[in-house]
Amino acid sequence: MPAGRFAPSPSGELHVGNLRTALLAWLFARSTGREFLLRVEDLDRARAGAEAEQLRDLAAIGLDWDGDVVRQTDRLAGFDAAFGRLSDAGLLYECFCSRRDIAEAPRAPHAAPGSYPGTCRALSEAERADRRRTRPAAWRLRAEAEEFTVTDALAGAYTGVVDDFVIRRNDGTFAYNFAVVVDDALQGVDQVVRGDDLLPSTPRQAYLAGLLGVPLPEYAHVPLVLNAAGQRLAKRDGAVTLADLSAPRTVDAVEYDAVTAARVRDVLLASLGLPQGPLAQAVDAFDPAALPREPWVLDSPSATFASARTR
């Protein structure tokens, strides 16, 4: 069954920007007859209780999902198998560079800023053995392309850098750009909807999907929610989670009433130009071509979401 997905990292509560992206992923999937899957990306960061909080908040704004929630840490065998295929094909090599080494390394004049300069690509076995004595190795992809083009439902054709990116870090953890490709393939995800801050990494993932021989999903990278300073929304911006908004509060000497999850849902729908109320109405009205293409700027979360105000 074709499927879309939402895949949060369980590092803390979801803020309204995360919830808006989740809502969009749900709308894309449901409006195209796909299943909607939830995946907890817990390889890297996990705070006790965060997963339960996130699932609670997604359900509170009306989202539902198909099947059981999948956790990356329960699927390590799939990552190991894909890693083995790349290794057997000679597409991986050990890298001993620190971040400082990479930042200070000379690059070709045409090289993209921040791309890996290939320092460890041609090390001899003797050189690798010597470096293993002082530093554990990460594993990088031996890429044979410098760039790759993907087609995005909102951004159109997008060409980005493909360098020898990390597949497995030197602490043994599989890197995001690898894990996300393997996860989507294992789950049958053929539609990836996520924030447009991840668009620059998508050419690497699409190139890797080709090497692994797995189908390329349809991509839709949606605009983020920004704060008044034009920066990506974060918890430091005030009442931006359902838990924070659900309690009365005072901001700049103004008292705001508690905000319900239904009110948050309705404001998020309005920001997308969709009818407020039960999500079935939004599915019927959903048209990706009509979505806003600019970020949604949230000047004052309390004022935006408050259903009433007491001075």
| pLDDT tens, residue by residue, 257-297 | 888 999 999 999 999 999 999 999 999 999 999 999 999 99
- Could you tell me which residue, 303 or 53, shows the higher pLDDT? 53
User: CB within 8 A of 302, min separation 6: which ones?
Assistant: 238, 239, 245, 249, 251, 254, 256
- 235: annotated binding-site residue? yes
What are the distances in angstroms from CA 141 to CA 30, 76, 120, 178, 227?
Answer: 35, 19, 11, 10, 36
- 28: annotated binding-site residue? no
How high is the pLDDT of residue 108? 63
Q: What is the mean pLDDT of the chain?
A: 92
For 219-232, the pLDDT digits (tens) are: 999 999 999 889 99
At residue 310 the predicted structure's pLDDT band, cuts being 50, 70 and 90, is very low
Per-residue pLDDT at 311 exceeds 60:
no
pTM here is 0.93
How high is the pLDDT of residue 111? 67
- 116: annotated binding-site residue? yes
Strand partners, 248: none
Per-residue pLDDT at 109 exceeds 80:
no
Per-residue pLDDT at 308 exceeds 50:
no
- 120: annotated binding-site residue? yes
- Could you tell me which residue, 277 or 101, shows the higher pLDDT? 277
> What is the distance in angstroms between the CA of the first residue and the CA of the last residue of the chain?
53
For 116-145, the pLDDT digits (tens) are: 999 999 999 999 999 999 999 999 999 999
Closest CA to 181 of 198, 197, 195: 198
- 7: annotated binding-site residue? yes
- 5: annotated binding-site residue? yes
- Could you tell me which residue, 248 or 234, shows the higher pLDDT? 234
| CATH value of 76-186 in 3.40.50.620, 1.10.10.10, 3.20.20.80, 3.40.1360.10 | 3.40.50.620
- 246: annotated binding-site residue? no
How high is the pLDDT of residue 146? 92
Closest CA to 290 of 60, 27, 58, 101: 27
For 138-176, the pLDDT digits (tens) are: 999 999 999 999 999 999 999 999 999 999 999 999 999
Domain locations in the chain as residue ranges: 3-73+224-310, 76-186
The two domains 3-73+224-310 and 76-186 share their CATH topology (first three levels equal): yes
Per-residue pLDDT at 105 exceeds 90:
no
For 36-90, the pLDDT digits (tens) are: 999 999 998 778 889 999 999 999 999 999 999 999 999 999 999 999 999 999 9
Distance CA 214, CA 188 (A): 10
Q: Which CATH class is domain 3-73+224-310?
A: alpha beta
- 56: annotated binding-site residue? no
Pairing, β 3-6 against β 189-195? parallel
- 41: annotated binding-site residue? yes
